[in-house]
Amino acid sequence: MTRLLLVEDEERLVASLTDGLRTAQIDVTAARTGREGLDLATSRDFDIMVLDIGLPDQEGFTVLRRLRATGSDLPVIILTARTSAEDTVRGLERGADDYMPKPFSFDELLARIRLRCRKPVEGDPATAILEVGRCVLDPLNRTVEVDGEPVRLSNREFQLTHLLMSRAGSVVTRAEAMEHVWGSAARDNVLDVYIRYLRERMGSSAIKTVRGEGYQFVG
């Protein structure tokens, strides 16, 4: 059973999400403050965290930053009533894997939770190790190396890297990348942010921009 940590202070939302997620066979632990959420995330074993930005004691952004500073790669979906591109980018920069603007559809949130928690299956062609230039990606163990050195990527960064490397030598259009990694609800500028992150981690020449078309992984 998927173990989910819900960090949210709005009582009605906590109650409705807890009921709905438990019906969907997801084990929910709720925290009402950022401090409680961070303590639970670093002391217990969860598969995913759903984190509100507007917490009473500290911003969810702060919780996320402190969580990532511990070395945790726990998938995090942020909930926010803020819809500006600046806040979206801010969340991604602190290590969020996904975001949901309030109000949101429960079914969409559930789908995103299940997507983030999906485990690769050995023997599936999609788990074949990819080698492109200086880069090696192992989908089954979810690892990436550049020149033999491990590169730490968030879940979304890994998804985008896998897509680009699996299509090495071909151009992946912006529309394809957005749909594959984020779905149709994501803001267009999110892709630009992630491409910048990947270039910082894997080398500025690893991903080529094909003007007017999209991106090509060259390693």
Q: pLDDT grade, residue 181 (50/70/90)?
A: confident
Domains, the chain, ordered by start: 2-117 (3.40.50.2300), 125-217 (1.10.10.10)
Adjacent-strand bridge partners of 217: 207
Q: 14 pLDDT exceeds 70?
A: yes
Span 157-185, mean pLDDT?
85
Q: pLDDT grade, residue 82 (50/70/90)?
A: low
Q: 85 pLDDT exceeds 90?
A: no
Characterize the bridge pairing of strands 26-31 and 2-7. parallel
pTM of the model: 0.64
Q: pLDDT grade, residue 83 (50/70/90)?
A: low
Q: pLDDT grade, residue 198 (50/70/90)?
A: very high
DSSP state letters, 122-188: TT-GGG--EEETTEEEETTTTEEEETTEE----HHHHHHHHHHHHTTTSPEEHHHHHHHHT-TTS-T
Q: 197 pLDDT exceeds 60?
A: yes
Q: pLDDT grade, residue 5 (50/70/90)?
A: very high
Higher-pLDDT residue of 88 and 121 is 88
CB 166 within 8 A of CB 216: no
pLDDT tens for 37-54 read: 999 999 999 999 999 998
pLDDT at residue 33, as a whole number:
96
Q: pLDDT grade, residue 91 (50/70/90)?
A: low
Instruction: Count other Cβ atoms within 10 Å, centred on residue 218.
Output: 16
pLDDT tens for 112-164 read: 888 778 765 555 566 688 999 999 998 877 889 999 999 988 878 888 999 99
Q: 90 pLDDT exceeds 80?
A: no
Dihedral of CA 90/109/10/3: which sign?
A: negative
| pLDDT mean across residues, the chain | 86
Q: 188 pLDDT exceeds 80?
A: no
Higher-pLDDT residue of 150 and 187 is 150
